[in-house]
Amino acid sequence: MTDLHAAPLDAPHAAGSGKGTGMDEPAAPDLASIERRDRHLWWVTLFLLVLLALVAALAVAGWIGFEGLDPSLPRLVRPAILLGLLLPVGLFCVYALHARAESARTRRLYQSQAARDPLTGLLNRQSFAERFGQEVSRSRREGRPFAVMLCDLDHFKQLNDSYGHQVGDHVLQLVATSVLDGTRGTDLVFRWGGDELLLLLAVNARDGALIAARRIRQGVIKIATSRRLPLDLSIGVAFYPEHATDPKELIRLADRALYVGKKSGDKIHVSGEVDAEGDAMESADPPAGGSERA
């Protein structure tokens, strides 16, 4: 009998929430209101700064005098009164600038949250284009390739059908944690859709990518063994710029390699490599709907 509670179902490093987790998702940030508040603060602050500078300039030029004050007051008291009038304006300007800086920090935080999958905490598909461009720039700058890995959980649909989507969600969280543990901080892990993950790994050689792929798969096998689940991981690998430079083509080649590895039983397959069954397997086209693979 499958033991789904052999160990606690911990959330991944970048904690998120989603369906079936029993956790409330944070309310969507109202970025438009933040932008409006920033604009209002900016214009009020600019007006008050100009007013402050004007009053100070007029006072220095002697155009603002103290004729209405008691002539017996010491000369130093009169500038102090003027300073007392200007000080609240200055403090408000400081507050407004601080509030603007906090708004910028909050906006960056919300943008970071928007780039992550709410269930697993991994990067989401919408953030892929920007991150891929950054990896290409780094690859050209450092003169080293990177690997595109497309991973698919074997038998996940069967697990969902047998135990329900809530259990499936917990398993996805465990897998996300395991994959993050098996990669470096500079590696990028995306939830590509359903039970598929996509990774961008900077590597110095092909062997390094294969070692990382085996480590990632062993982490999933460990989850399956400890909970007696029918679970495994198939991985297709393509390299930039060896196999392609276009992101869509790299993903297509990685998906094709994934299909070959899954069908041949190798589980980990590199694009363009001939498997044990020969070229016929390599030329096969994967079926549509990658996340529905058995």
The angle that helices 206-227 and 165-181 make with each other, rounded to 10 degrees, is 140
Give the three-class secondary structure for 84.
helix
Q: Which of 287, 270, 191, 193 is nearest to 234 (CA)?
A: 270
Active site residue 266: no
Provide DSSP, 250-276. HHHHHHHHHHHHHHHT-SEEETT--BT
**Contacts of range 154-159, beta carbons closer than 8 Å, 24 or more positions apart:** 154/231, 154/232, 154/233, 154/234, 154/262, 154/293, 154/294, 155/230, 155/231, 155/232, 155/294, 156/194, 156/195, 156/231, 157/195, 157/292, 157/294, 158/230, 158/294, 159/229, 159/230, 159/231
CB-neighbour burial class of residue 220 (10 A; exposed 0-12, middle 13-18, buried 19+): buried
Q: Which helix (H) or strand (E) holds 234?
A: strand 232-240
Region for residue 190 given its phi and psi (left: phi exceeds 0; alpha: psi -120 to 50; beta: otherwise): beta
Q: Which of 181, 184, 186, 180 is nearest to 142 (CA)?
A: 186
Q: Which of 117, 152, 195, 275 is catalytic?
A: 195
Cα–Cα distance, 182 to 176 (Å, whole number): 10
Q: Which residues are identified as catalytic?
A: 195
